[in-house]
Structure 1
Amino acid sequence: MDAIRISKVEDVLCTKAGAALKGTIHLTTHHLIFRYDDNKEKEMWTPYPLISLVNRLPQTLQGQCPLTFHTRTFEIFSITFTKESDASDVFESVKELTVALSVFHLYAFSYQPNPPLPTNNGWSIYSPREEFGRMGVGTRTKAWRLTDINKDYSFCPTYPSKLIVPTKISDTTLQYAAKYRSKCRIPVLTYLHWSNYASITRSSQPMVGITQNRSIQDEKLIETIFQTHHAPESRASNSPVYGATTTNLIIDARPTANAVANTAKGAGTEIMEHYKEGKKLYLGIDHIHAMRESLAKVVEALREADNLLASINNDLSGQISGVSVLDRQALRRSGWLRHLSIVLEGINIITRNVHVNSSHVLIHCSDGWDRTSQLSSLTQLCLDPFYRTIRGFEILIEKDWLSFGHKFLDRSGHLSSEKFFVSPPETNSGNTGAEAAQGFLASMQNRFASQSHIKETSPIFHQFLEAVRQIQRQAPERFEFNERFLRQLYYHLYSCQFGTFLFNTEKERRTGEGGNPPPIERTISVWDFLNSPEEMAQNMNPSYNPSLDDPTSRSPDADMGVLFPNPKDIRFWYELYGRTDDEMNGRNIPAPAIRFPDVVGLIESTEDDARVDTPSNIPLPPSPGSTPCILPAGHSPAGSDITSTLHASSSAGNPPAIAARSHPSSRDSFRPFSMSGSAFSMKTATSHPSPTSPNRPAGSRAQELLSGPGVFGRSVWDRLSSNASAALSVVQDAYGGVTKERGDPTTTETPKTEELQNRNYLTSWSEDMQQPNGAPAARVTNPSISTSPSSASHTSPNSGNPWTSMEVANNRPTLSFYDNPWDISTRSDTQQPVSATNPTQLSDDISSGSLPFDPTVVPHSMSKTIHVSPRPPLEFKTPETLEQPPRPSSSNGSTDPLGVGFGP
């Protein structure tokens, strides 16, 4: 009580979740309590270990002194005082009550439930004999035995007192093998599979060092583990399993570089030349410091969003509600979801090797109490349906986390630090320079002394709970407990109300110090609280279906109760962070239905902020980059003709919709072309009269827009069409003058429906191209100037430009590569052929707007004083007169079938 400078302050303002209410703050030995005036809200009880950060802000111009509290449950609230002395007293009191000097000062050692909890067997819920007996040790197989070599924790202080080891290995061999493993954590059994006697064992890294040390006892121990299903005393069948391959694995959870780097510290990884019975695999899971930094980035993004929202509410006086300002890009840059995905990938590898390959797996990281516990427990959760019940999940945590020595005290940071209490520097003009320097030195010494254990903190168990939530979300009917059960576990991980998660090892929980009773006799287990009837009723999953885990089921979708989570289906656990699914994961945008009359605007990038569900039956074309595509709002079935769909829309009097991809990485929600094997086909529509143009076959203009040379170069102009009504009118006008198709009834040499031929069969563009007067077609040497459509005649399938699939009407201009198809002002229905030998006509055409602006040609209307340097007129040369160096030709003699020229 000496730490409490002030126990009660009235008439203070509490701001939480955008609401500001007045009340009274109370400081007790273990809780900060805020009671609202007139009981407008429920009292807010905050255990001191749950406080992660306190900011004391400077006094405002209105004389208010705010304190901002951040909790480990990702909540933020502010207490505003009218007196600076009250704010200072509360700040100092909370700091001294939160920064504990010993674990025995925490709330669990003084908590007494009133009334008492109905159950009190939480500390004995896990029995190694009963649990491993349930797996079949000693009953189904005699290849494993229970040893008491660590009954007094002298063999390995961080291991449980009961260990399961191979029957063929003596305790003497274990004593020698322990010298070769970090912290004496030898390979011991943690799980025996119920169907095939495959095992999961766990250990720490070997002490290989730079000198490449080896241990015969350790090699013999692992060899025996990998042969336990062949033990003579075992009742397991030695016949091979159909389709199974024996692949005993040594799983090193670390990245390869980290494992190799540890050899400089005298540790390292196994030299597989000495372990002939297995193979080694690195999973690439980062260390505890990377996990801590990753979660810190997530928390920082949440804090910035809360601060921004608070400033918005202050400026607008609560006029805006429900605004999401969370930066989802910052969340993804944190790498938190990537870490979870890597963990789930490792789980799938181990699960498949145990269940499908009927093989053994040894898991370890550095010391075998962080990443090893994650992989071991999560794999058992997927393999054994028992661990997906409430009782089984509690036993799993007791076995693989508590008894095998996960450092809950260090990783959770229960003792806190003065580093997390930030106050503005105090300016006192009465102090001398020496006194100020002495005070600064003392404060720095205290700060460094209280930060010595902060580098050991890491959200390892938190990450385990999030991984369980991912599997639970993917298979909701396979878990007896719901999401709230996991959230309650997370809350009491940091509340320090119960003694379950307070210590680093089983030895610390079950042995007393200085004549005091052990902590298991002085504290209450969290399982007693969670197994109470009131909590049990709220934590049950109503959709749980245990019949799905029947291993004897022979239904088509039966999986024998073994789960394989999808490592790509990873999302933020938004309930834990107090946000909505849309805020943290983006909105779920379904694929559009087939509705042709709709006009779809520009589709913004949905890669980061939304999830686009695209039907898998839509063919995917080769992406041309950031380009607009004209196509129906829906999609045509596989193998159908897209232009037929366009015709169906136009025949109904409705223009096809426009959908544009605004970013190269945007997801392709609309697929305009059809793919058949490796052939890229764009088929023309069958000839039917169109209401808009009875003399032209419907779909020909659509194909021109789809296959014309300018369709993939108009993304700039597409961006400029911001007015939806203007864009619609332009599209309608474009479809009003539908041009002729290659399958014109007046010509008989070309079929109306035809696929593009292979490039090997395409002749040169210059061959068989005839002008109206019978002369060979001229070839444009300047690609920026397109020829007049009136000068181009109908070509055969095997000659001319292979990508021009139709004839263009003489009263309509072609779509030049540099044309702006959306600019009505530049369109001319009476455009005349461009004469290459008449520069004046070219300048006039440019000034009149019938051609795109060429920066090398200055119209007369722009300036009368600017003179253009003389340049030779444009020449149209036939292939016979082209003066070019020889170029390699294709197999059929085509020199440049695409007409783009060869590279230098």
Structure 2
Amino acid sequence: MEFSEHIKTANVEDVVLTQPFHQPVRGTLCVTGHHLLFSGRDGDSSAQLLLLLRNIDAIEKSVENLVGCSGLGSRSSGQSERSAGSSGTITVKCKDMRILQLDVPGMEECLNIASSIEALSSLETVTEMYPFFYRPSFLSLQGEWGLSSTEQDFAQIKALSDRWRLSEVNRDYSVCPSYPPTVTVPRSIDDEMLTKSAKFRQGGRFPVLCYYHRENGKVIMRSSQPLPGANRKRCKEDELLLQAVIDGSELGYIIDTRSAQLAQQARMTGGGFESKSNYTSWKRLHRNLERGKVLQESLIKLTEACSDQSHNMDRWLSKLENSKWLSHVNSVLATAGLLAECVEREGCSVLVHGSDGTDTTLLLTTLAQLILDPQCRTLRGFLALLEREWVQAGHPFQQRCAHSAHSHARLKQESPVFLLLLDCVWQVGRQFPLALEFGEPLLLQLAQDAYASDFGTFLCNSDKERCALGVKEKTHCLFQFLCRPSERDRFINPLYQPTELAIWPSVQPPSLQLWQGLFFRWTQSGQYLQEAREEIRNLVMQCCRRGCGQSAVQLEADSSIPSSGVVDC
């Protein structure tokens, strides 16, 4: 298929663009296979637009007859006649929550542009997406793709313990389609046992190691739900695998991200949970974390509330509460804290799973490592954590991030789980302004790239799919790009002071705040917030260059900016 088949009108003159923080400007609109281009007449860079079509979540169009010409600039006689007859308005709603308006002269041109945008913004064939065409001169497709590998992670564990081994049981993805080719498992469990355990777990996601605690040797494992069904079937290999994790003499915890009732109901469809009689050394804890449609509806309600500036305070707070977004943030952070406590304070190993093990499971394992591991709080370490726990571990980005909050399509597989993770990380950074080497700009960049990107990192639903389509050979890696010195400076937190201690985020209501930098990013208040952040960052950098010992608290007092601004530097 050629992209030109979808482009009915490639260029339109005399279009008026209205976008956040800018006055309406008249210029030329151009539609390409992957971008929407706009160039203002005056040549001012602020009047330019380069919008990735994949970033468009929904469009609304309206056409009307005109009796005269508007007063924006001069027109030729032909353009005047066309505009005097009809005109159309296209409202473009983006996945990054930006809303643009295009006033297009001519009904036919308006409808053609709208049709082209709708077709090209919803391409489903992965190899037709922009990352396969993005070829900047400063990047090369040669060399290693990504920041981490199972082999590199295992090398660090091997130096500390001989109880673990690297297994290639999934080297052809036949045992588990959503796992990487190599995984870390107990040394005493052979590949045949792993294969049998995989058949007893949904989607083949048998328990694998994702974190080794250096201080006490305890671990965090992740998997999907077991499949005992209504008949309470057993799998001795799965039982032995989990027994090998705790070495037969300790207590382990299983954190199930479903309520006890939902886990019980899953038995009716073949799923279920680990029974106490068969997994005698493991104690099961249920913590219900919402996912899927519930989470998507929550984001939609919150976005609607944030985009409507007409509410009074009471009505706004009511809409915020009804969205329940902060309740989801609270639940995830509280459960991640519980997981970290089990490892650090209780001295116990933990297995985490829900049903599929590709969503809320990854939320918890990622945040627990951020709490416990200082390395995961560096910029490179955090990106490697995301690569290990989300990209390699099989979070279905293609399904979950197909649309955002504005789309009229309500696909069953969509869910802003990764966005919820970034919000939780932002909350941690806000509460511990010195603990993270990176700041809010990195989280905003990741939130945008998860839905629409120049890079191939978030394409597809698994490592298997990426290999089949040649993603690692034919696209650039986002995480490697973000670690380049030229980009790194944009994301570094100048207040960063590394600590070896665990950081324990509070989940009390006053401790959690709405992420204004994301949800109000394109409003007037968001613009002021960004200006405040830049001013604080400049102050901090000046202090650092002078060797000044002024504290963050002093900087806050001097700049009259609330503490959230300091955190977001």
Task: Show the counterpart of 2:519.
Answer: 577
More off after superposition, 536-545 vs 28-37: 28-37
Which residue of structure 1 aligns with residue 116 of structure 2?
A: 93
1:528-566, CA deviations, whole angstroms, 9 ceiling, x for partnerless residues? 3212222111111100012xx14xxxxxxxxxx211111
Contact 1:9 1:24 in 2 (8 A): yes
- Quick one: which amino acid aligns to residue 260 of structure 1? Q
Are the counterparts in 2 of residues 247 and 353 from structure 1 also a CA contact under 8 Å? no
Paired AA for residue 155 in structure 1: V
Deviations for 1:703-728, whole angstroms, at most 9, x for unmatched residues? xxxxxxxxxxxxxxxxxxxxxxxxxx
Instruction: Assess, with a 3 A threshold, how the Cα gap between structure 1 residues 247 and 329 changes in structure 2: closer, same or farther.
Output: farther
SS at match of 1:476: coil
Q: Is the 8 A contact 1:120 1:528 kept in 2?
A: no
Partner of 1:329, secondary structure, is: helix
- After TM superposition, give the deviation of residue 404 of structure 1 in Å: 1.1
How much does 1:122 deviate?
Answer: 5.9
1:763-805 C-alpha deviation (Å, 9 max, x unpaired): xxxxxxxxxxxxxxxxxxxxxxxxxxxxxxxxxxxxxxxxxxx
Q: 1:498 to 1:3 in 2, by over 3 A?
A: same
TM-score where L is the length of structure 2: 0.83
- Matches of 2:354 and 2:385 in 1, distance apart? 19
Amino acid across the alignment from 1:281: L
Inter-partner Cα distance in structure 2 for 1:503 and 1:78 = 31
Equivalence for 2:139 = 117
- 1:331 positional shift: 1.9
Q: 1:324 Cα shift? A: 9.3
2:292 paired with 1:288: yes
Aligned to 2:450: 493
Within the candidate set 332, 340, 353, 1:351 is matched to 340
Which residue matches 1:78? 101
2:368 to 373, 379, 404: 379
Deviation at 1:497, TM superposition (A): 1.2
In 1, the alpha carbon distance for the partners of 2:145 and 2:482 equals 13
Q: Which structure ranks higher in relative contact order (CA pairs < 8 Å, sequence separation ≥ 6)?
A: 2
Secondary structure at the aligned position of 1:503 is classed as coil
What is the 5 A alignment of 1:196-275?
196-227=216-247, 247-275=251-279
Q: Deviations over 1:74-106 (max 9, x none)?
A: 111111122111111110111111121311111
2:549 maps to which residue?
Answer: none
Judging changes above 3 Å, is the alpha-carbon distance between structure 1 residues 178 and 528 closer, same or farther for their aligned structure 2 residues?
closer
Aligned to 2:532: none
Task: Map Cα deviations across residues 409-432 of structure 1 (whole Å, 9 max, x no partner).
Answer: 111117x99x957xxxxxxxxxxx
| Residues 412, 457 of structure 1: 8 Å contact kept | yes
**Secondary structure in structure 2 of the residue aligned to 1:455:** coil
Note if 1:160 corresponds to 2:163: no
Change (3 A) 1:225 1:498: same
Give the 3-state SS of the residue equivalent to 1:492 in structure 2: helix
Offset at residue 326 of structure 1 (A): 8.5
Q: Using the alignment, how far apart are the partners of 1:173 and 1:289 within structure 2?
A: 36
| Corresponding residue of 1:531 | 483
In structure 2, how many angstroms separate the alpha carbons of the residues matched to 1:392 and 1:222?
A: 28
Q: Equivalent residue for 2:507?
A: 567
Q: Which has the higher helix share?
A: 2
SS of structure 1 residue aligned to 2:158: coil
Q: For the residues of structure 2 that align with 1:583 and 1:342, how far apart are their CA atoms?
A: 28
Measure, in 1, the Cα distance between the counterparts of 2:65 and 2:377: 53
2:208 and 2:316 map into 1 onto residues whose CA distance is 45
Task: Give 1:181 deviation, angstroms.
Answer: 0.8
- C-alpha separation in 2, matches of 1:580 and 1:567: 28
SS in 1 for 2:5: coil
Q: 1:66: Cα distance to partner? A: 0.8
Question: How far is the alpha carbon of 1:27 from its aligned partner?
Answer: 0.9
- 2 CA distance for matches of 1:501 and 1:178? 26
- Aligned partner (choices 421, 428, 437) of residue 480 of structure 1: 437
SS of 1:327's partner is: helix
Answer yes or no: is the 8 Å Cα contact 1:191–1:380 preserved in 2: yes
Structure 1 residues 223, 185: closer, same or farther in 2, change over 3 A? Answer: same
What code does the residue aligned with 2:121 have?
T
Aligned to 1:30: 34
Q: Is the 8 A contact 1:206 1:267 kept in 2?
A: yes
Residue 44 (structure 2) pairs with residue 44 (structure 1): no
Cα deviation, residue 261, structure 1 = 1.5
1:126 aligns to what?
148
Instruction: Specify the alignment match of 1:195 in structure 2.
Output: 215
1:6 maps to 9
1:773-852 matched pairs, under 5 angstroms: none
Structure 1: which 5+ residue stretches go unaligned? Answer: 231-245, 310-322, 422-450, 513-517, 551-560, 588-904
Q: 1:130 to 1:579 in 2, by over 3 A?
A: closer
Q: Please tell me whether the aligned partners of residues 118 and 532 of structure 1 are also in contact (alpha carbons under 8 angstroms).
A: no
SS at match of 1:221: helix
Deviations 1:719-770 (A, max 9, x none): xxxxxxxxxxxxxxxxxxxxxxxxxxxxxxxxxxxxxxxxxxxxxxxxxxxx
Q: How many residues align?
A: 502
CA distance in 2, matches of 1:289, 1:194: 38
Cα 1:53–1:215 change in 2 (3 A) is same
Q: Give distance in 2, aligned partners of 1:151 and 1:161.
A: 4
Q: CA deviation at 1:61?
A: 5.8
Name the structure 1 match of 2:390: 401
How much is the aligned-residue C-alpha RMSD, in angstroms? 2.5
Distance 1:383 1:152, change over 3 A: same
The Cα offsets for residues 162-201 of structure 1, whole Å up to 9 and x where unpaired, read as: 1111111122222222221111111111110010001000
Between 1:57-66 and 1:168-177, the stretch displaced more is 57-66
TM superposition score normalised by structure 1: 0.53
- Tell me, what secondary structure is at the counterpart of 1:10? strand
Match of 2:64, SS state, is coil
Query: Do residues 541 (structure 1) and 493 (structure 2) align?
Result: yes
Work out which of the two has the higher radius of gyration on C-alpha atoms and give 1 or 2.
1
Change (3 A) 1:409 1:580: closer
Q: Verify the 8 A CA contact 1:402 1:505 in the aligned structure 2.
A: yes
Secondary structure of 1:9 counterpart: strand
Amino acid at match of 1:273: S
3-state SS, counterpart of residue 511 of structure 1 = helix
* Amino acid paired to 1:140: L
Per-residue displacement from partner, 1:178-232 (whole Å, max 9, x unpaired)? Answer: 221111111111110010001000000010211122222211111111227x7xx
Match of 1:173 among 188, 193, 196: 193
CA contact (8 A) 1:370 1:406 kept: yes
In structure 2, do the counterparts of structure 1 residues 94 and 581 end up closer, same or farther at CA, with 3 Å as the change threshold? Answer: closer
Deviations 1:829-848 (A, max 9, x none): xxxxxxxxxxxxxxxxxxxx
Distance 2:439 2:142 in 1: 23
The answer on whether the counterparts of 2:147 and 2:480 sit within 8 Å (CA) in structure 1 is no
